[in-house]
Structure 1
Amino acid sequence: PEILILDEATSSVDTRTEIHIQHAMNRLLTNRTSFVVAHRLSTIRDADNIIVMDHGSIVETGNHDELMAKNGFYADLYNSQFSGNVAI
């Protein structure tokens, strides 16, 4: 399909399965418009553009590196999910 929508594709799986799904998603999302809804930020880390929402409002946009550099809401969420983990 030209447009792909994934809603919480990795929400109910263990970490090992999530990694396999992410690899498959990377191939599947290439050269198509994709909307990926995710609470696990590792799922969207490689996205071209991330839209961060809080209570129904857009609070930040950018790619992972840009959002981390802003040290705002996304960075707080990301750091809370990955504190103590090895960098991916």
Structure 2
Amino acid sequence: MANGFGNLPICMAKTHLSLSHDPKLKNRPTGFKIPIRDIRASVGAGFLYPLCGAMQTMPGLPTRPCFYDVDIDFNTGNVVGLF
């Protein structure tokens, strides 16, 4: 709220095995609490996303991804532009 993100919607990802955070809780469990270890803001996209457990995220791509600069030098056979 202090940073001005208090009105952003929340985007949740979950396991397809359960409605809860625990895949062992089958069907439609009730009375559970979801442990959230962090909340991150995707300000450009306009939403917040909580992280639960060991969930990992992938970095977003820049406007011009670096894979455009990867190529093969056909004279030497070396890949260029990776590092």
TM-score (norm 1): 0.19
Which structure has more strand as a fraction of its residues?
1
| Greater relative contact order (Cα < 8 A, sep 6+) | 1
TM-score (norm 2): 0.19
